[in-house]
Amino acid sequence: MPPARPNAAASPTVETDEPLPEQAALDSDSRGDDPSVEAARRRRLVVGAVLAAALVVVAFAIGVAQAVQRHAHTVATDAITAAALDYLTAIAEGRGDDASALVPVEGEAPLLTDAALADAGRIQAFRVEGVELDGDAATVTVAFRSGQGPVEHELDAVREGGTWRLTTTLAEHVVLDEAVFGPLPRLRAIEIGRDRGTLLYPGRYRSEPYEHGLVSIEPMMLVIDGDPRTGITPGPGSGSWGAPWSVPTAVLDGAPERALSHAVGCQAADSCAVPAGALLVPGDSRGFALADGGAVEFDVPLQVLSGPADGPSQLWVGVRASAGAAGAIDWQCSDPVGLDNSGGVPVERDWGACA
């Protein structure tokens, strides 16, 4: 009996070099062999590399620009700080002439000098707090102590020709009202604050004693902080409004005597408001005020006793004392007056020789 034929389905696979249909289909993809596809792929690689390189260049350029900007900011800040410290150092060391050369001021400045600062209590603990830049302009904040405590100022600066310089001075324009302040203080024979004012660098200044007519002006301490909005601060020993001043005893004692003598004289001549036959008694008030040229003016009260049935009334006699020749005192009087409608002694007086 012949041998059985093997089942075709169970037959072993015959190895051959021919690819399977599926593999043949994959291998037959024509895109892998298309030159245009390969070229596109290469172009994409080149463009990616170029973009990456460009990003690196831009990032590097930005970094360089930022570094240059930071360096320029640092250089400018250091230059402004140095200029401010040079200025503060000059004032602190009493080199007023150098300080005025660094930051000029407008107008006459006879007390912004080395000589004026020589005896002053100058600024201490000075420093630069910060700098704000705005192109070729800047603001620098400085601080120091000037006798009454810490002080801060903002000073302007500009860049010209590559160099930074300050444009705001610390010299304070001191203006004093003599009618309120009283006798003006003097420094190196210069009255501080008269007319358009006087420029002074921050510090503590002791004014000079001097004679002003019949008035003796005592020294006082002036504290200048460089800020015109704060005015000046009288130091210890100063009067409540200004420099302490005094009047000779002969003037203080002589004013009531002149007032009584003048009232009695005009009463006798029937030329004033003193009732005939009334008894006049000087009051206790010694109020006085400083007048022009160092003269002193008094309003001397007098008690008027007319009779037993009448109560006492009061009149005021104006007395004015001024310096005469050879140390003498010149006296003037105004006639006795009562109080005005406002309850005060009339300000306007007609001065004449005392009776």
Angle, CA of 192, 195 and 200, to the nearest 5°: 35
Q: What percent of the chain has pLDDT over 90?
A: 46
Predicted local distance difference test score (pLDDT) of residue 239? 44
Q: Which residues, in sequence order, are CB contacts of 204 under 8 Å at separation 6+?
A: 120, 121, 146, 147, 221, 222, 223, 224, 235
Instruction: Please tell me the distance from the alpha carbon of residue 281 to that of residue 303, in angstroms, as a whole number.
Output: 5
pLDDT band at 104 (very low <50, low <70, confident <90, very high): very high
How confident is the model over 185-227, as pLDDT tens digits?
999 999 998 878 899 999 999 999 999 899 999 898 889 998 8
pTM: 0.69
User: How confident is the model over 109-118, as pLDDT tens digits?
Assistant: 999 999 999 9
Q: Max alpha carbon distance in the chain (Å)?
A: 191
Question: Span 149-177, mean pLDDT?
Answer: 92
Q: What is the pLDDT of residues 66-79, one digit of tens each?
A: 665 666 678 889 99
19: pLDDT strictly greater than 90: no
Alpha helix stretches (DSSP H) within the chain: 21-27, 35-92, 96-102, 114-118, 178-181, 249-268
* 267 has pLDDT over 50: yes
Q: What pLDDT does 89 receive?
A: 98
Tens digit of each residue's pLDDT (9 = 90 or more) over 296-338: 999 999 988 876 555 568 899 999 999 999 889 999 999 998 8
Nearest 5°: phi and psi at 232? -110, 155
Render pLDDT for 24-41 as a digit per residue (tens, 0 to 9): 444 554 445 567 777 777
Which letter, b or e, does each residue of 145-176 get, where b requires 16 or more Cβ atoms within 10 Å of its Cβ? ebbeeebebebebebeeeebbbebbbbbbbbb
